[in-house]
Amino acid sequence: MIHVENLVGGEFVELEENFDNISPLDFSVIAKIPRTRYVGDAVISAKKALPGWSGLSLLERCDWLDKIANALEANIDEVARLESLDTGKPLDVALNVDATRSVNNFRFFANFGRNLESQEFEMDDAINYVLRKPVGVVGLISPWNLPLYLLSWKIAPALLMGNTIIAKPSELTPLTAHFLGKVCTKLGLPDGVLNIVNGYGPEVGQAIVEHPEIRAISFTGGTETGKIVAATAAPMFKKLSLELGGKNASLILSDADLDITVPGVLRASFLNSGQICLCGSRILVHSSIYDDFISRYLEELKTFKIGPVISDDHRTKVLSYIQLAIEEGGEILAGGSCPDKLGAWIEPTVIAGLSHKSRTATEEIFGPVVTIHEFDSDEQAVEMANSTQYGLAGSVWSKSKGREIAEKIDSGMVWVNTWLHRDLRVPFGGVKDSGVGREGGLWSVGFFSEAVNICIMED
Ligand code: NDP
């Protein structure tokens, strides 16, 4: 049994009130989590640490990020083991996606910081330069689907730019954040630079967003929670980055190369049991290749291994959408029920025959469920792709028209003939109800700093 503790001011703190962390694999209790309601102590520690941390040079902070990356990498199997235990995902996914990308996040921002160019604007008689000051104490709130990967995506640039942190992992998946806290204290990261508080979102998450001395909130999670976060933070004029839900389309045009499209679209459908905000849960296929695509896709699906979904509650939600699909007239082509074993397992499910405007095809399910729709023209495909409230990501599969069609999709990111191919320098974020703001590379640097103009009159 693991006892998760809060990390506050460099100390691991136990609380009297704790709750169970349940494994989705078999519903056993794997950890006890402190139920935090108050973040004042963590904020005091973070404020105390701020002058020292922001007083280091950028290059010194880059060295810290490298130290953290190296220490995580030295423990990469343990990171993967904990992530797999907490989320139920297969160990190879936890290793190759979560753990590896968490290390990469720290290493990327270390190198990015070393190559960060100063910005200057010359006038005839004066010079302007841009000073990037830290925002101060920042609150970082992350979901359960890619726990350390998404939290480190925020922690690394926040540290780089000289901020001190109050981080909150999801109550469902606190283990790797706790491990990161242990790694950082062992390395001697100054006390109070990274504080980690655990508990229920509406309690401790809300307390972070409400705290007046936390000056920026970077939030990744559902659109409904994002609305609450925005409504709470906006009147305090906090900086706000919201990475929210999605209902992404995979567009398969008539000239798609099915040898790469079938495995690519399958991976986009079901990697991490469909619980990645970027997953392609709506598959739009040109009518000329519809039958061929479906038979190859269903054949390859038989060899695709997935883990359970995150919890029994989430399974109930996902199953309710499968039921809704049947009520809406959908035809279940594969899956549709739960394997007969303990844990939050659901078969990968493929549904055809629904209108692209049906609830099943427009609401975020966030599980191993996809809907397949047929189109006759590229214009129709674009109209279908853009017909939800969301605009996070998408992919286009075509030998000749990928770029042209990709530019017409109302989403923050579109891949052509690939999916989840990530360069950490590019902007990451959504349009419409998928979020506000961008993270990644310079966009993270911009979010986690205040750009101040200094104008010097020349002699
Ligand atoms: P939630 O919105 O339920 O939770 C996200 C985080 O917010 C959790 O840490 C949660 O804590 C916390 N939280 C809950 N209520 C509040 C509150 N009132 N104030 C502050 N924090 C709060 O999302 P899920 O964890 O269920 O994650 C799935 C969602 O995340 C999906 O919609 C998915 O699309 C989205 N997502 C978006 C990504 C993107 O980059 N755009 C990437 C990954 C996921 P707790 O878990 O303890 O309740």
- Across the range 402-427, mean pLDDT stands at 98
Give residue 75's pLDDT band: very low, low, confident or very high (50, 70, 90): very high
Ligand 1, atom 31: closest residue by C-alpha: 222
Name the closest-CA residue to atom 23, ligand 1: 221
How does pLDDT run across 102-133, given as a tens digit for each residue? 999 999 999 999 999 999 999 999 999 999 99
Q: How far is the CA of 433 from the centre of ligand 1 (A)?
A: 14
Judge whether 277 counts as a catalytic residue.
yes
Q: Are residues 306 and 196 in the same domain?
A: no
Whole-number Å distance, alpha carbon 219 to ligand 1 midpoint, is 8
Does 257 lie in the same domain as 134?
no
Q: E strands, 159-288, where?
A: 164-168, 194-196, 214-220, 239-243, 248-252, 280-286
Q: Does residue 329 share a domain with residue 204?
A: no
Does the residue 428 lie in any domain?
no
Q: Whose CA is nearest to atom 21 of ligand 1?
A: 205
Q: Is residue 429 part of a domain?
A: no
pLDDT of 1 above 90: no
Indicate if ligand 1 lies below 6 Å from the C-beta of 446. no
Compute the mean pLDDT over every residue in the chain, rounded to the nearest whole number. 98
Ligand 1 pocket test target in 101, 176, 220 with most atoms within 8 Å of CB? 220
Residues 224 and 320 in one domain: no
Q: Please tell me the distance from the alpha carbon of residue 186 to that of residue 6, in angstroms, as a whole number.
A: 15
Q: Which of 150, 152, 170, 248 to mutate to test the pocket of ligand 1 (most atoms within 8 A of CB)?
A: 170
The reported pTM is: 0.97
- For 184-209, write each residue's pLDDT tens digit: 999 999 999 999 999 999 999 999 99
Residue 159 and residue 215 in one domain: yes
Supply the pLDDT for residue 459: 79
Instruction: Report the candidate in 297, 293, 283, 287 with the shortest Cα–Cα distance to residue 384.
Output: 283
Domain that holds residue 68: 2-244+434-457
Half-sphere exposure of 88 (CA within 13 A, CB side): 27
Mean pLDDT confidence for 53-80: 98
Question: Are 233 and 348 members of one domain?
Answer: no
Number of separate domains in the chain: 2
Domain with 351 in it: what CATH number? 3.40.309.10
**Domain shared by 444 and 399, yes or no:** no
Say if 230 falls within a structural domain: yes
Which residues are paired to 239 by β-bridges? Answer: 216
User: In this structure, what token pair is assigned to residue 274?
Assistant: 């469909």
Residue whose C-alpha is closest to residue 130's, from 456, 427, 437: 456
Q: 258 falls in which pLDDT band (50, 70, 90)? A: very high
Ligand 1 center from residue 225 Cα (angstroms): 7
